[in-house]
Amino acid sequence: MEGDLTLRGAARYREPVLDDAARARVMFLAGAALQGAVDQDAPAAAAAINAISAEHGGEGLTEAIIAWCDTLTALLPLPRGGDLVGLGWIDETGQARTADDVDPQVRWAGQIVTARACEDKDTFNALIADLPDDGMAGSQHLAVLLRLIAANLRPATSSLPANPDEDGAG
């Protein structure tokens, strides 16, 4: 690992449901999941996501999604707010694709990052509500989101300083 990621603080769309200790634990696990994705360690990323879900349910997962999206948008030269962020996909051949051309999980991941970047709380909340309740389908959406974010963060993480070791237990 060349550099550890620091999760960015999230601008709130709603009042926090988790207490400070629970939120600290979620942020620790979200950081572990994201670092696992950046390091291409799928089992580590999955274990951290499963721990968030088991310990803190949907509220914990929502906090993690916010942190992952905000971490990406903080490290990329994206304008915050407004309609200045567009959404598109480039496939493995280099061809541009629209939302209709990609798998639903890929579309959801791109849309949720874009909603956060545009500070569009209604769209973000609708996309959270659209996250499948089915464990496998929901996991696939989160895995695609993490892969999308990790792929964009890998070049930026090589210059980040290492974080102190914390266990997130509060």
Tens of pLDDT along 39-83?
999 999 999 999 999 999 989 999 999 999 999 888 877 665 555
pLDDT greater than 90 at residue 8: no
10-49 CB burial, b ≥16 within 10 A, e <16:
beebeeeebeeebbbbbbbbbbbbbbbbbeeeeeebbebb
> 168 or 149: whose pLDDT is higher?
149
The Cα 127–Cα 145 span in angstroms is 12
pLDDT at 14: 53
Q: In terms of C-beta density within 10 A (0-12 exposed, 13-18 middle, 19 or more buried), how is residue 148 classed?
A: buried
The Cα 32–Cα 71 span in angstroms is 13
Kindly list the domain boundaries of the chain, sorted by start residue. 20-157
pLDDT at 82: 54
> 138 or 144: whose pLDDT is higher?
144
pLDDT greater than 70 at residue 21: yes
* Global confidence as pTM: 0.79
Query: 132 pLDDT band (50/70/90 cuts)?
Result: confident
> 162 or 109: whose pLDDT is higher?
109
